Structure 1
Amino acid sequence: MEQQGRSLLINHVKIVLEDRIVEGSILVRDGIIAQIIEDSEQPEADHIVDGQGKWLLPGFIDVHVHGGFGGDFMDATAESYDTITKFHASQGTTGMLATTVTASQEAIETVFQATSEYMKNDMPYTALLGVHLEGPFLSIKWIGAQNPAFLSPPRLDWLQDWTERYPGILKLLTLAPENEGAIEAIKWLADHNVVVACGHTDATYEVMKEAADAGLTHAVHTYNAMRPLHHREPGTVGAVLTDDRIYAELIADGHHVSPGAIKLLASSKPADKLILITDAISAAGRPDGLYDLGGLPVIVQDGVARLQEGNLAGSSLTMINAFRYMLEHTDYNVMDISRYASGNTAKQLGMFEHTGSIAIGKQADLVLAEPDFSSVSHTWVNGKQVYEAK
């Protein structure tokens, strides 16, 4: 594996930049992109990877992912986190948030503890960037695949405790803005540099506007588990579509959202406000069968995860498959989709200065994808190779 402190040349690739696609090479030194070469020049390097005409993209950043390959972030062990990050590295993800489910205060605390410890060490695969707390401050009406036994109104005392004990770990929090105390929580979280999202919510259009005024800037798995659009009451979806302050997540797997609804969302949002996510559970990368999500049994059939009652329960999606789905089923091009999978997410997390696009001086968080985007050939995090297809 290529280590930091050495140079890496990735040549013969189609490089997806912020404003254009070029054919050439990239030179990486000490984990940082040092040169973008648009001609046949081949500078010396300690390690050379022949890209064979494949696509070189900024690494994918997934802010909504529960697990993969049998591991779940609620397991709260380094072994499980290695399993999850190793699998998603093979799918082109270079950064991710450990996403919880609605659970007890104690179970959530173990995720904060495990994530904090994991991030202190040398992460061998995809980099954990922090925690996405999805629940327990959600709506019973739009519970989806969350466990109703652990629902709670927003608890500022819990949030204050977690942010004091695990500073910088909570990056994103999903809540139902209509719940009592939610607006106060949104203001507090926004003041403490936590991205606040609506999700699993019955919020009206008016409540969503109030929440956005308070500092809410994100919507999880848009369309799913939220009050739908109606022409006389635009609902949560209507607010997400029309309020340019709100970033909108999208699960592009063909099951959660139809191509027509994707087109409506993408055409409604500014180009920098759409974010691809997987919402992947432990079943991602594994065969059909019975799985667990927050203590609830999940049946995966033909790759689709559902509770026994029929509710969709996360997904088995990967970022490279979401990328390919967008390319095949929408009118958006490789540069557009790259922004949705990398750049926009980095901007929302306040990381765009050093990751999320291919540019000189940025971290070499890179993915080499096959010409048809069917799979990933190599993944690098901060210049370190964390995956190579065999």
Structure 2
Amino acid sequence: MNKKWIINANIVMENKIITNGFLEMSEGKITVIDQMANCPSFALRENVIDCQQKGYIIPGMIDIHIHGAVGHDFMDANHICYSKIAKYLASEGVTAFLATTMTGPMSEIESAVEALAYYYKNQPTAVPEMLGIHLEGPFISQAKKGAQSEAFILKPNVQQFNDLYDKSHHSIRLVTFAPEEDTDFELLHELTNKGVIASIGHSDADYDTAQHAIKAGITHVTHLFNGMSGLHHRDPGVVGAVLLAEDVYVEIIPDNVHFHKDLLPMVYKMTGLNRLLIITDGIRAKGMPDGLYQLGGNEVEVMNNQCIQRKTGSLAGSVLNMNTARKNIGEWLTLSLVEQIRIVSLNQAEHLGMDNRKGSIALGKDADIVWLNEEGEVEKTFCLGNFAFEKD
């Protein structure tokens, strides 16, 4: 049996931290969690990782909004590119993700979802796991398109979505769209009937329309504040509607670029801990030097952690590292490590209906494990018990 042990570790559980503990990983699962006093002795130590009580063992993080990294994009429709993106994500402490598409020619979106469907069913186990597809566009508002390509924006269409859904082999898990463009909420109803998460994003809906959409089945908002009608004292807009709702999960990009960090306490007070989702919205420039990159057929200039579409001046995704995002929100909201893990991992797993095997360290769950060193940096990452990343 392919067993590995992590010993002399501070293990971050869902509601507590076990100090000086150990865990066993076998056949891709967590099979033992206990105190070091009960740890077996090892004749061979080749599969033993000794943390020496330095740093913390946390569950792998889950990025549900990621377009690409290290020069590659999920719209490239190339399995080798997908493997390279996944391998890189392990260096950030990410062990699972939703591959995110964007607005473009329908033929390109079809090619991407077909290639992603193949990768989804044949993906390697020693890299972060693709949990499905996040379809961002093309059913969005032209007024709030952001870096999405205006020429290929479409009105929400049930038949076109179903064609993509079938081509994805039903692996589309989340759809970002503009419900105000959706006649009689036809697409929204189709998404909820299929069990696909319906997200309001790139939307110019007014407050009342957003409220009606939430009542009809919206349970998610894509990158809060960005690509949506803002909070105004005479029209609270999409921002007001989702913050006041009780059951909408809220994506945030904590890079202090997409919104001012001092807004976070307001968001936190309104959503609480259990509805916050940290994302990166990373593009192919993530993990690369500053310079010019392509996103959705447009040129993006990356400089000083900002990604700007040269044609429009719009923000165009990010190069945010997921572990940096965790540290940022921990500092800005004074969150404990247990609280940080909820919003980078457990909330995502619960929202996707996968918390039976992802999102926290517990017996029987997937051995998606990250060792953070004393500086809070990723020292090692395991995906399904396999070495996926080691610092230096």
Give the TM-score, by structure 1 length. 0.96
Q: Corresponding residue for 2:16? A: 20
Instruction: Tell me if 1:204 matches 2:206.
Output: yes
Deviation at 1:105, TM superposition (A): 1.1
Query: 1:244·1:270 contact (CA, 8 Å) conserved in 2?
Result: no
Unaligned stretches of 5+ residues in structure 1: none
Aligned residues: 385
Deviations 1:314-360 (A, max 9, x none): 00012111011112222222111110000000011110011111111
Q: Corresponding residue for 2:369? A: 366
Query: 2:182·2:188 contact (CA, 8 Å) conserved in 1?
Result: no
Equivalent residue letter for 1:132: H
Q: Corresponding residue for 2:6? A: 10
Residue 325 of structure 2, aligned match among 308, 322, 326: 322
Deviation at 1:180, TM superposition (A): 3.6
Q: Which runs of 4+ in 1 moved over 4 A?
A: none
In 2, the alpha carbon distance for the partners of 1:49 and 1:262 equals 37
Residue 269 of structure 2, aligned match among 247, 267, 270: 267
Q: Corresponding residue for 2:245? A: 243
- 140-149 or 37-46, which deviates more: 37-46
User: Aligned to 1:278, what secondary structure does the other structure show?
Assistant: coil
Deviation at 1:34, TM superposition (A): 1.3
Q: 1:227 to 1:359 in 2, by over 3 A?
A: same
Q: Corresponding residue for 2:93? A: 92
Deviation at 1:164, TM superposition (A): 2.8
Deviation at 1:38, TM superposition (A): 2.6
Deviation at 1:377, TM superposition (A): 1.1
Deviation at 1:44, TM superposition (A): 5.0
Query: 1:175·1:182 contact (CA, 8 Å) conserved in 2?
Result: no
Q: Corresponding residue for 1:126? A: 128
Query: 1:154·1:182 contact (CA, 8 Å) conserved in 2?
Result: no
In 1, the alpha carbon distance for the partners of 2:336 and 2:270 equals 17
User: Aligned to 2:293, what secondary structure does the other structure show?
Assistant: strand
Q: Corresponding residue for 1:143? A: 145
Equivalent residue letter for 2:246: D
Q: Corresponding residue for 1:34? A: 31
In 1, the alpha carbon distance for the partners of 2:104 and 2:184 equals 18
Q: Corresponding residue for 1:258? A: 260
Query: 1:250·1:275 contact (CA, 8 Å) conserved in 2?
Result: yes
User: Aligned to 1:35, what secondary structure does the other structure show?
Assistant: strand
Deviations 1:118-177 (A, max 9, x none): 122242411111111100111111111111010000121112122234333100000011
User: Aligned to 1:40, what secondary structure does the other structure show?
Assistant: helix
Query: 1:205·1:236 contact (CA, 8 Å) conserved in 2?
Result: yes
Deviations 1:35-76 (A, max 9, x none): 211343322567111123121111111110000011111111
Unaligned stretches of 5+ residues in structure 2: none
Report matched runs for 1:1-390 at 5 Å. Answer: 5-23=1-19, 24-43=21-40, 47-52=47-52, 53-123=54-124, 124-181=126-183, 183-308=185-310, 309-373=312-376, 375-390=377-392
Query: 1:92·1:376 contact (CA, 8 Å) conserved in 2?
Result: yes
Deviation at 1:182, TM superposition (A): 6.6
User: Aligned to 1:178, what secondary structure does the other structure show?
Assistant: helix
Same amino acid, percent of matched pairs: 37
Deviation at 1:245, TM superposition (A): 1.4
User: Aligned to 2:215, what secondary structure does the other structure show?
Assistant: helix
Deviation at 1:230, TM superposition (A): 1.6
Query: 2:7·2:36 contact (CA, 8 Å) conserved in 1?
Result: no
User: Aligned to 2:64, what secondary structure does the other structure show?
Assistant: strand
Output the aligned Cα RMSD: 1.4
Equivalent residue letter for 2:248: I
Query: 2:128·2:383 contact (CA, 8 Å) conserved in 1?
Result: yes
Equivalent residue letter for 1:213: K
User: Aligned to 1:232, what secondary structure does the other structure show?
Assistant: coil
In 1, the alpha carbon distance for the partners of 2:331 and 2:216 equals 38
Query: 2:8·2:22 contact (CA, 8 Å) conserved in 1?
Result: yes
